[in-house]
Amino acid sequence: MANNPAAPPRRTRLGEWLRQPGVLVALPTTLFLLVGFAGPLVIVVVYSFMPPRTFSMFQAPTLANFVSVVTDSYYISFFWSFALATVTVGLLLLVCYPIAYGMAKLFGKWANLVTVLVALPLLISENIRLFGWVLILLKNGILDGSLQIMFGLSIPSLLYTVPAIVLGLVYVYLPFMLFPLVIGLSMVPDSLKEAASDLGATRLQVFREVELPLAMPGILIGAMLTFILSLGSLAESKILGGQAVVMIADDIESAFTFAQNWPKGSVLSVMLIAFSGALIFIVFRRIDLDRIIGRR
């Protein structure tokens, strides 16, 4: 349709590009996201250069907020966010890899059932599921109570500790690691692994030289996704962590709400966005989405 020979011959290049059916159907969502996503991001960046504690965005730009964030103790919450996100990604790789391998290579038609069972909890509010962990970890909660009945021993409450936050992060973001891994591992042809072991490669060599490199796009997407989601998480540290640690999203929230310092909250947001954006950029440059989603 784009190359309709009956069309008048001379037309601007932009006009020609706009007439492609693909561009036409891409337009509504693109406009929507420009208004709802790009616009707000620009505003946050503008606010980050406004004088502290102001609510208007038409003043002389200043770097005061960046200076105060760097010199203040915010590095502690950045440290905790990065540390917890790193630990979460590491644990998720260990937990999900065997399951993903099973789903891609061993389970056959049962893999579909596992997919559905892992995906269903995503449709339940994160808060409700995290609250379930509160009930389990609570003093006199389900874990404590069961141990008392079975072994007669009482454990201190695990709630409001750092491991509880990690548990919550691993729990909530597990599907976001598992599904990319399954896609990655199903892109590894069995014939190639068999060929490698026929040629005398050990199991470890097959894993390191064949399976890992070929499954890498899936591993990268899973790791990036879970890292970014953990980095910006709010509910896990608040519901399961109490006051144990303050993560960066907490700081951003309180700068905007209690402190009423929009420029400072904006600076923290810009730093988080810049880091996440850089990570997404690096990973996206290495992968082809048609191949992964469409299996073309």
Partner 1 sequence: MDGPRSSIAKLLIVLWTLVILAFLYMPMFSVVLASFTKKRYFSFPITAWDTRWYEKAMASLSVRDLIATSLSVAVTVTIFSVVLGFCSALAFARYDWKGRKLFQKLILLPIFFPQAVLGLALLLWFSNIGIITSWKTAAFAHMIWIVPIVTLIMSIQVYSFDPALEEAAFDMGASRWQVLKEITLPILSPGIVSGAIFAFLLSWGNFPLSLFSTGADQTVPEWLYAKMVSGYTPMVPTLGSLTMGAAALMVILVYLGFQLRRLRRP
Q: Which is nearer to partner 1, 217 or 265 (by Cβ)?
A: 265
Burial grade of 254 (CB within 10 A; 0-12, 13-18, 19 or more): middle
Shortest gap between Cβ of 222 and partner 1 (angstroms)? 12
Q: Under the criterion CB under 8 A, does residue 235 sit at the interface with partner 1? A: yes
Q: Under the criterion CB under 8 A, does residue 28 sit at the interface with partner 1? A: yes
Applying CB under 8 A, the span of 66-74, 152-160, 210-218, 230-238 interacting with partner 1 comes to 230-238
Contact string (CB under 8 A) for partner 1, positions 251-280, x = contact: -xx--x-----x--xx--x--xx--x---x
- Tokens describing residue 75: 């590095």
End-to-end, the C-alpha distance of the chain in Å comes to 24
Phi, psi of 10 (to 5 degrees): -95, 120
Q: Under the criterion CB under 8 A, does residue 33 sit at the interface with partner 1? A: yes
Q: Is 287 left (phi over 0), alpha (psi -120 to 50) or beta?
A: beta
Compute the half-sphere exposure of residue 60: CA atoms within 13 Å on the CB side of its CA.
Answer: 2
> Which residues in 117-156 contact partner 1 (CB under 8 A)?
117-118, 120-136, 138, 140-142, 144-146, 149
Per DSSP, helices labelled H in the chain are: 13-18, 21-33, 39-48, 64-71, 74-101, 110-119, 126-137, 142-151, 162-186, 190-198, 203-206, 212-231, 235-239, 248-256, 262-285, 289-293
Q: Which is nearer to partner 1, 72 or 197 (by Cβ)?
A: 197
Q: Which is nearer to partner 1, 34 or 70 (by Cβ)?
A: 34
Distance in angstroms (rounded) separating the CA atoms of residues 196 and 209: 9
Could you give the angle at the alpha carbon of 230 between the alpha carbons of 226 and 233, nearest 5°? 140
Of 6, 200, 258, 295, the one binding partner 1 (CB under 8 A) is 295
Location of structure tokens 């007669």: 152
Q: Under the criterion CB under 8 A, does residue 7 sit at the interface with partner 1? A: no
Q: Which is nearer to partner 1, 75 or 291 (by Cβ)?
A: 291
> Which residues in 160-199 contact partner 1 (CB under 8 A)?
171, 174, 194, 197
Applying CB under 8 A, the span of 3-11, 62-70, 154-162, 250-258 interacting with partner 1 comes to 250-258
Q: Under the criterion CB under 8 A, does residue 282 sit at the interface with partner 1? A: no
> Which residues in 76-115 contact partner 1 (CB under 8 A)?
95, 98-99, 101-103, 106-107, 114
